[in-house]
Amino acid sequence: MMSRRKFLILTGAVAAGAILPAQISAKTQFVETAEEVRAKRRWAMAVDVSKCTECVKELVAKTGNPEVKPPCVVACDRENNVPEFEDKRIDPQWMRIAKLKLNKPSVNPEEFYIPLLCNHCEHPPCVQVCLTQASFQRPDGIVVVDIHRCIGCRYCMIACPYGARSFNFRDPMEGLKEVNPEVPMRAEGVVEKCTFCAHRVDKAVAEGKEPVPACVEACHLYGKGALTFGNIKDPNSKVSQILRDNLAVQLRANLGTDPHVFYLKLGGE
Amino acid sequence: MIGILFGVIVPYIAVAIFVLGVIYRIVNWANSAVPLKIPTTGGQQKSLPFIKRTIYDRFDSPYTWWETAGRMLLEIFFFRSLLKNTRYYLDRVSQKDARWLWLFGILFHYSLLLVLIRHSRFFLQPVPSFVEMLSDIEAFKGVFIPQVYISGLAIVAALFLLWFRRIFLSRERTLSLPSDHFALILLLAITISGNLIRYFFKANLELVKELLANLMIFNISKAAAIADQIEPIFYVHFLLACFLLAYFPFSKLMHAGGVFFTPTRNMPNDNRARRHVNPWDPEPTAPIFTKGITVAGRTFKSKKLDWDTYYEMYRDQLDEIAEGDYMIVPEEL
Amino acid sequence: MAVEFKKINGDSLPYFALVVILAIVTAAGFYAYVLDHQIAGLNGLSNRVPWGIVNAGIPYFIGLSAGSLIVSALAGVFNIKKYKVFSRIAAYMAAAWIIAAILSIALDIGKLYHFMNAVRYFNLTSIFSWNAFLYSSYFVICSIYLLVQFEEMDRATRFMAGLAVFWAVLVHSGTGAIYSFVYSKELYHSALTPPMFIVCAITSGLGLLLANLYFTFRFTKRELDPSLIRGLALIFAGLMMILGYFLAVEGLEKGYIPALHEAVQFVFLNPGASIFWSFWLLIVFGIAIPIIIVLNPKTGYNLKWISLAGIMHAALVFAERFYLIVPGQVFPEEYLPGYELESLHTLEGYIVSYTPTIIEWAQIIGLIAMVYLIYVVGVRIFALIPERAVEEDVDVEVVKE
Amino acid sequence: MYHKRYVIPLILVFLIGFFTPYWYNAMAGSFGYEPELKKPAGECVEDAKWMASNHMLLLQQWRTQGIRSAAEGGKIYHSFTTGKEFYITINDCWSCHTDKKEFCDQCHDYIGIHPECWDCHYTPDIEKPHYEGIDGLSKYFS
Amino acid sequence: MEEAPEKIEIRQRFPSWKEMLKPVKKFEEGRVSYLSLPKQVDSEFFKMPFGDVERSLDDLKLPDNWKEIFLDAMKETLEKNRAFKLFMDICVRCGACADKCHYYIGTGDPKNMPVARAELIRSIYRRYFTPAGKIFGELAGARELTEDVIRELYYYAYQCSLCRRCSLFCPYGIDTAEIVWWLRRMLSRIGLNQRFSTISIEASARTGNHLGLLPGGMAGAIQQGLEELKDITGFDLHTYINKKGADVLFVAPSADYFATPHWFVMLGYLLLFNELEEKYGITITWSTYASEGGNFGTFHSYEAAQLLNSKIYKEAERLGVSFIIGGECGHMWRDKHQFINTMNLPPKHEEWKRFWEDPDLGEIAEGLRGIRFDSYASGEHGWIHILEFVAALIEHKKIEIDKSRNDHWVATYHDPCNVARGMGLIEEPRYVLRNVMNKFYEMPEHTIREKTYCCGAGGGMLADEIMDLRMRGVMPRMMAARHVFKKYGVNILLTPCAIDKAQFPTALEYWKIPIEVGGPMEMVGNALVLTAFGEKPEDRQYDLRGDPIREGSGGE
């Protein structure tokens, strides 16, 4: 039951009410600022191309299907609710496998397989061009699409040098066989791409564990362990060690985007 | 206590005043006679078959019932007369279009319509899908939470524009009476308080709908109990709206009903095809003046100039004309 | 005698028929949009070619808009009195085309009702974001420019004309930059695009305006002096030559890079693809023949021929937009130089075909019809067209002042 | 009264229009209908009454922090009414409000608001099988 | 406006709303109409309440209980006229009408805005008839009825020409003419009448026409016209007057019998009638009893209008005509189109009935078969405008026209307000003019057709004592006329309205625009080839003004 006094002061509470939404955020104190995170963590992935090639070749041989999906891709699709459609032109892909061959067959006629995924560039062109700041780079380096903001202009797809982004031409719900509650599904008319399994990363960080994206986990579990994920700001992490020991190649490094997916052992041992 | 007073008693009174008041005004107008058929003709009449009438003429100078109805509908839905608005310049030959008033008027009235349709969600159960569809279309769905309804903001803007006309244009300032400002301020207060509830001080809308549902079925004790739980900011909006309802029938806002009665618009221009009968002089055998009019107890009666009187008065001249067999020929020089 | 602008009567049957036809085509365009978004797979887009001809509509319409506006502003900015007769109609067309441009963005984006996000979360580094601002402000400037013309406020008109031209240049550079600043696609990346855009915009807008003026004056049975049009036609031809020059420079520059040899060959010398045709048709029918028409003394003074040249050029500038937008996406990028790459699960590494479907064409045609609907209704509501456009009339006024 | 032929229908139209809720609700048979919420177990992040009016603001704040922050501190929500802290994850609400139909939809249907959250977001009502984690993938590679 | 007279100075004032409620005490010179004298309003045939005393504005000499009488009259009006009551209630004071009034444009007097003019009486209405006005008084825009207010009401009621231009632009169709008309009626109940219109009303009530012409005078005037026509055409023409058994009764405004630009129009009528009679055998008669088409009663009150127009149907019945043709007049057509058959019982005699059962002119004269008046088909009206009639004759090629006879005229056409906005006769005159002359140009679009500007002298405003007001009111029309004069070299302003024809010569002189005034029927008369008399197109040497026709036009 409301008292008369309360009613009267509430007329004066106009000002207090106006800042209600602001209050919610004002009270939230960050135990760890963005700058601190930036100094502490930068996620990256290293791909051992020889192991990867070995794995895919084995699978192709086993199934006889030249378009077979290796464990990493399957895990990515399931984990992130990536829909599957028949039509290759509009089928969204977060992670996919590409076949490489050197231009000079006389030197090396062998084919290699590499996974292609979002490179989580240090200077991501997609973030530069996004109209609505829907694509953004988190302080820990992961580039994410905030689909609440995406308007589907597809400028980021044009700008991305790696073709890492997919547009939802159809309602993704139609192409889903099972659902992972941890990751939101996307709607028709927005752009999506690999997030380095940001939900897994955040959960692991909060629990103080080493984060492992789904593809990496699946690669180790079912594949040859070609993928390595970790924090390159930490010199002791596995990724740092591997990158120290090997010559790493970045895709289209000449553009200066500084991608954070590194390919090792390109062209064999 | 406040809940009962503002949440129960006031709305009942306001609705009663509104409904009875509007009916009273309509009946009151209908009680007056329409002595003459006086449409304002804004275009070519229906006349000889070779005189072309354009579609605009049909609506501006209607001849049939349908054309008249069309004229009224265009008037009501598109404010067609205001659309003809021009402004006169003393120093120029030409006149310019000045349709701002039309634009602001349309903006306000259609926003109001949308706002009212959206408010029907508080009265109708289940909420009709077209109401939801309209709300979704006008809101930037998903961009702002809560949704931002364009009509809700546009109506405030339009009211301010209409009010600024009255404040800043010297001619309009001269014309405006306090009641004109008052109506605008009242509407502004309602719309602004509505927007405040929507975007800043949230009220529990579910309780609001429950309150209204209980009021509708006269479940007063339940309504009063619910009314007490609703946030006070709601009552600012609600009370003002109730006041508007009660104020409506007795103010110029009644133009909403009056526009249907305008004799210059709702009559066809078919005087020559259908005779209009004056209800208070249905059989005019002789002019009223010759029957005499009574003012303050005294009767003033004019003499009737019928042919016989006339003939008596000018007998010689008329006879002379008759002698010439009613024919005039030029005089032989 | 001063130029007097007058509304048309607009009560004849052909007029209503025209309005109805345009309205139907417009409605069909919007219906195509609805279909496009409800049923997947009706358009020719894919994850490799996400921008098609609906997107090409943006630069195309913007170009038509600017071309119109610059004609309009000639009178104001450079004080060329004789073009004052066309200033209203041109400014009005400019405003109408910008609406079409904004709508073609609206038809193109995936989540239309989220568009306010672009305002709410304005991204300073995004050229598209700036363009959204430029387009809307450009529309406002056009409207104010038109308004001050209606109100015959001479000083304000000159000021607004200047501002409008400045803004038009800005908008065009911006639109060009949307494409040319994309450094990840070599066929897009070019510093020449923004200036070429401005030239191309003026020629296409001017070309269409010429035809527009001819037909409007003809249908309203008003007098139009060929010598006035001739002046504009010469400007038109001159700018088309500059456009041709720009195209040549850019093509040759691209062809000079060994890395792009394959792509350039694909674009210019591959008659199997629509891109080849879009380019060469533009060169031949969109530039060469119109220039010949205008410069040939036999045809260059004839309003019919000039408007034919204008229409040809304006129509084929759409091919130029196609040639600008599509090849960069169709031709695969090289992720790892020295290696040939083929994706197992997507279309990366392949040349992807993009053929606009009828649904996409319907949207573009619907927008064009909408602009003409706005125009046809506009000449009835507003005093846009001069009672007669004859050079002597205009000259007399110059003498008087 | 003159023109009864027009005036009486006009009054009737006015009355029918103004009293739309009566005939509409009578036709729908929903006079006095009130939604019944299934009271969830457990403690909410904010006071229930505050939530009834302001939950949309909370959810917006929740989602922005949840997506945009990489630092774990950025993912901590401080309750406005109770002062407690909560770590933001995507499916927190479902832990107590187990039934969307009996909770969310009750009020939303009543007021006629249908937010687009569930176009993408998981709800317990969703009919598709759940993903079982990486370990469950073995069936694809056996 | 390089050549506009220096003397006109428009002082625009924008007082506060409170000041607007206060009655104006100081009346501008040249804008106040004189009050009626007893001989006009206390005459035998036109007896108005309290008309027996001579009044002036300084000394109104109102009856003792004038307030009661006025309010009673107002109450009666509210009951008797829905338009008045509605217009009292629904105005929202949006201001759309404000600059539509030519008197407001010309004078700048804020109370001349149509809305403010209506507000003068509306404030009284609020004070005495609405609860808000009774309670809140001035705040609700209400004011007491005092003698000053009455004076002000009179002052502004007679600054309106009842042209209805404001009504066209009002979103609710509020017709200030209607308000003012009934206000004048209320004022007449306490003895306040305008002298100029009551002179004419009284004369018309007594003699049948406004000029007070006796039958002999009228016959003489027509006869003189016939003589003049003989000089011009060389033919012996004739016409009928008061002829029983004629086919058609013709009613013209009485000014046509004497006044100058009107005169040529009458010659045009006579030529047409003779041609028709000679060729087709249709007889058209004038009447001395119904010798007046105009009706100054429509400027005064419902009853006065009825008093004056009641004669015509009676006369039609007496003469046994089939229908009535009306001449060129503006307010006459408001009266004849919208009022007359409501205010009177239409004639019921046989010829009339027979004709309107099948309104084809072939029923009267076989040669004219095919001209049908189906749109007016009703035995209860029976009026045809002379220009409609001529348009039909031209369309059916029943008369022969030689356009070139009007080549020395470059004409423009002014729509009389009542004909355009009270009747909708817009295209017919243009049709006629395009067919009888080669050089016809329209004035600017917003000053013609239904948006036409008033001549500033309608509604009883033709009085000489309000010359200042008249010249201010005519300004917009003159600006438009000057525009076409400069642009096309127009040398005649045609208008089918007697009051316009009286006002425009004065106004054109005042505004220094060297063009003539005339009526469309004059042009018809010029161009009409009297084939029935054996006239050839090239025979006519002089136009109806006596000027040589082909001089200066053919050669150059």
**Would you call A78 and D68 a contact, using CB atoms and an 8 Å cutoff?**
no
Given a contact cutoff of 8 angstroms between Cβ atoms, the answer to whether D78 and A205 are in contact is no
- The 10 Å Cβ neighbour count of residue A25 is 12
Amino acid at E166: C
**Would you call B217 and D32 a contact, using CB atoms and an 8 Å cutoff?**
yes
E366 vs E22: CA distance, rounded Å? 66
The CA angle E106-E108-E109, to the nearest 5 degrees, is 120
Given a contact cutoff of 8 angstroms between Cβ atoms, the answer to whether E270 and E226 are in contact is yes
Cβ contacts of D95 on chain A, cutoff 8 Å: none
Say if residue D2 is in the same domain as residue D55.
no
Say if residue D15 is in the same domain as residue D50.
no
The CA angle E512-E516-E520, to the nearest 5 degrees, is 145
B29 and chain E in contact, CB less than 8 A: yes
**Would you call E189 and B295 a contact, using CB atoms and an 8 Å cutoff?**
yes
Cβ contacts of B201 on chain A, cutoff 8 Å: 13-14, 17-18, 20
For E302-354, what is each residue's pLDDT tens digit? Answer: 989 998 888 888 888 888 898 899 988 888 898 988 898 899 888 888 888 88
Say if residue D72 is in the same domain as residue D119.
yes
For E475-518, what is each residue's pLDDT tens digit? Answer: 888 888 888 888 888 889 999 988 888 899 988 888 888 898 99
E191 vs E188: CA distance, rounded Å? 5
Q: Give me E270's structure tokens.
A: 């006579």
Q: Where does the pLDDT of residue E71 fall: very low under 50, low under 70, confident under 90, or very high at 90 and above?
A: very high
Nearest CA to C169 out of C66, C311, C97, C68 is that of: C66
C5 vs C383: CA distance, rounded Å? 5
pLDDT at B143: 67
Residue linked to tokens 């404001």: E166
B141 and chain E in contact, CB less than 8 A: no
Q: Which of A79, A146, A218 sits opposite D131 (nearest CB)?
A: A79
Domain total in chain A: 1
Strand order in the sheet with A248-249: A227-231, A43-48, A261-264, A248-249
Mean of pLDDT values over E146-164: 91
What ipTM goes with this model? 0.82
Cβ contacts of B209 on chain D, cutoff 8 Å: 110-111
Q: Helices (H) and strands (E) in chain D — how many of each? A: 6, 2
Residue D139: inside a domain: no
Q: Which of residues 10-69 of B touch D (CB under 8 A)?
A: 18-19, 22-23, 26-27, 30-34
Q: Where does the pLDDT of residue A144 fall: very low under 50, low under 70, confident under 90, or very high at 90 and above?
A: very high
Say if residue D102 is in the same domain as residue D54.
yes
For B32-91, what is each residue's pLDDT tens digit? Answer: 999 999 999 888 888 888 888 888 888 888 999 999 999 999 999 998 888 888 777 655
Q: Give me C254's structure tokens.
A: 């691209």
pLDDT at A14: 39
Domain ranges for chain E, please list them.
Answer: 17-30+49-192, 201-397, 403-533
Mean of pLDDT values over A194-200: 91
pLDDT at B283: 86
CATH label of the domain that carries residue B179: 1.20.950.20
Crossing angle for the helix pair B150-168 and B178-199, to the nearest 10 degrees? 150
C76 vs C154: CA distance, rounded Å? 9
E144 vs E138: CA distance, rounded Å? 9
Say if residue D55 is in the same domain as residue D121.
yes
Q: Which of E139, E189, E388 sits opposite B178 (nearest CB)?
A: E139
Say if residue D66 is in the same domain as residue D120.
yes
Q: Where does the pLDDT of residue A31 fall: very low under 50, low under 70, confident under 90, or very high at 90 and above?
A: low
Mean of pLDDT values over D105-127: 85
Q: Give me A152's structure tokens.
A: 């589907």
For B251-297, what is each residue's pLDDT tens digit? Answer: 889 998 889 999 899 899 888 888 888 988 888 888 888 888 888 88
Cβ contacts of A266 on chain C, cutoff 8 Å: 336
Residue linked to tokens 């005036």: D7
Nearest CA to E30 out of E510, E471, E459 is that of: E471
Nearest CA to B139 out of B125, B157, B160, B153 is that of: B153
Which of C178, C334, C344 is the best mutation test for A, with the most CBs of A within 10 A?
A: C344
pLDDT at B142: 64
Mean of pLDDT values over E60-85: 90
A81 and chain C in contact, CB less than 8 A: no
pLDDT at A8: 38
Amino acid at C376: V
Q: Which of C111, C339, C342 sits opposite A189 (nearest CB)?
A: C111
Q: Which of C118, C125, C339 sits opposite A128 (nearest CB)?
A: C125
E407: exposed, middle or buried (C-beta count within 10 Å: 0-12, 13-18, 19+)?
A: middle
Domain total in chain D: 2
pLDDT at B126: 87
pLDDT at D8: 92
Residue B276: inside a domain: no
Cβ contacts of D78 on chain A, cutoff 8 Å: 24, 27-29
Top-level class of domain E17-30+49-192: mainly alpha
E495 vs C110: CA distance, rounded Å? 63
Say if residue B182 is in the same domain as residue B316.
no
Cβ contacts of B197 on chain A, cutoff 8 Å: none
Domain total in chain B: 2
Say if residue D96 is in the same domain as residue D46.
yes
Residue B231: inside a domain: yes
CA distance B246 to chain D (A): 14
Q: Give me E412's structure tokens.
A: 């423009």
How many Cα atoms are found within 13 Å in the side-chain-facing hemisphere of A245?
A: 10
Amino acid at B231: E
Residue A124: inside a domain: yes
Residue A47: inside a domain: no
Phi-psi region of E459 (alpha: psi -120 to 50; beta: other; left: phi over 0): left
Q: With an 8 Å CB cutoff and a minimum of 3 pairs, decide whether chains B and C touch.
A: yes
Residue D134: inside a domain: no
Q: Which of B2, B201, B202 sits opposite A2 (nearest CB)?
A: B2
Given a contact cutoff of 8 angstroms between Cβ atoms, the answer to whether C340 and C66 are in contact is no
Domain that holds residue A154: 64-264
Say if residue D54 is in the same domain as residue D13.
no
Alpha carbon E293 to its chain's center: 10
Given a contact cutoff of 8 angstroms between Cβ atoms, the answer to whether E391 and E430 are in contact is no
CA distance B30 to chain D (A): 5
Given a contact cutoff of 8 angstroms between Cβ atoms, the answer to whether E448 and E421 are in contact is no
Scored b (16 or more CB within 10 A) or e, B112-135 reads bebbebbebbbbbbbbbeebbebb
Amino acid at C211: A
In DSSP terms, which residues pair with B252 in a beta bridge? none
**Would you call B143 and C120 a contact, using CB atoms and an 8 Å cutoff?**
yes
How many Cα atoms are found within 13 Å in the side-chain-facing hemisphere of A39?
A: 4
Amino acid at C329: Q
Element of type H or E holding C14: helix C13-38
Q: Where does the pLDDT of residue E5 fall: very low under 50, low under 70, confident under 90, or very high at 90 and above?
A: low
Q: What structural domains and CATH numbers belong to chain C?
A: 44-356 (1.20.1630.10)
Nearest CA to E492 out of E400, E405, E413, E389 is that of: E413
Residue D142: inside a domain: no
Residue D133: inside a domain: no
CA distance E395 to chain B (A): 8
Residue D140: inside a domain: no
B138 and chain D in contact, CB less than 8 A: no
pLDDT string in tens for chain C (401-residue length): 456 777 777 777 888 899 999 999 999 999 999 888 888 778 888 888 889 889 999 999 998 888 888 877 777 777 777 777 788 888 899 999 999 999 999 888 888 888 888 888 888 999 999 998 999 899 999 899 988 888 777 788 888 888 888 888 888 889 889 888 888 888 888 888 899 888 988 899 888 888 888 888 888 888 787 888 888 888 889 999 999 999 999 888 888 888 888 888 888 888 877 788 888 888 888 889 999 998 888 888 888 888 999 999 998 888 888 888 888 888 888 888 888 888 888 888 888 888 889 999 999 999 999 999 999 998 888 888 887 776 654 443 333 32
CATH label of the domain that carries residue A164: 3.30.70.20
The answer on pLDDT for B231 being more than 50 is yes
Given a contact cutoff of 8 angstroms between Cβ atoms, the answer to whether E405 and E527 are in contact is yes
B42 vs A156: CA distance, rounded Å? 57
CA distance C41 to chain B (A): 25
* Pairing verdict, β E528-529 and E400-401: antiparallel
Mean of pLDDT values over E236-255: 88
D127: exposed, middle or buried (C-beta count within 10 Å: 0-12, 13-18, 19+)?
A: exposed
pLDDT at C396: 37
Question: How many beta-carbon pairs below 8 A join chains C and E?
Answer: 3
DSSP string, A51-117: HHHHHHHHHHHHH--TTPPPHHHHHHHHHTT----S-TTT---SEEEEEEEES-TTT---EEEEEEE
Residue A14: inside a domain: no
Work out the mean pLDDT of chain B and round it to a whole number: 87
CA distance D70 to chain B (A): 23
CA distance B118 to chain A (A): 24
Scored b (16 or more CB within 10 A) or e, B205-240 reads bbbbbbbbbbbbeeeeebbbbbbbbbbbbbbbbbbb
Residue B152: inside a domain: yes
Does a cis peptide bond (omega within 30 degrees of 0) precede residue B39? no
Given a contact cutoff of 8 angstroms between Cβ atoms, the answer to whether E210 and E200 are in contact is yes
Q: Is A169 helix (H, G, I), strand (E, B) or coil?
A: coil
Q: Is A144 helix (H, G, I), strand (E, B) or coil?
A: strand
CA distance A96 to chain C (A): 6
- The 10 Å Cβ neighbour count of residue D16 is 12
Say if residue B248 is in the same domain as residue B119.
yes
Say if residue D23 is in the same domain as residue D83.
no
Largest CA distance in chain A: 92
Work out the mean pLDDT of chain E and round it to a whole number: 87
Say if residue D89 is in the same domain as residue D45.
yes
Alpha carbon A248 to its chain's center: 20
Domain that holds residue B299: 288-323
pLDDT at D72: 65
**Would you call E445 and C6 a contact, using CB atoms and an 8 Å cutoff?**
yes
CA distance A58 to chain C (A): 15
Residue in chain C lying closest to B150 (CA): C116
Return the sign of the alpha-carbon dihedral for residues E72, E73, E76, E82: negative
Alpha carbon D13 to its chain's center: 36
The answer on pLDDT for A91 being more than 70 is yes
Cβ contacts of C114 on chain B, cutoff 8 Å: 140-143
Does a cis peptide bond (omega within 30 degrees of 0) precede residue E114? no
**Would you call C150 and B56 a contact, using CB atoms and an 8 Å cutoff?**
no
**Would you call D11 and B26 a contact, using CB atoms and an 8 Å cutoff?**
yes
Say if residue D78 is in the same domain as residue D48.
yes
Supply the DSSP symbol for B305.
-
Element of type H or E holding C359: helix C358-381
B273 vs B37: CA distance, rounded Å? 12
Residue A119 phi, psi (nearest 5): -85, -5
Domain that holds residue D8: 1-28
CATH code, E403-533: 3.40.50
For B16-29, what is each residue's pLDDT tens digit? Answer: 999 999 999 999 99
C133 and chain B in contact, CB less than 8 A: no
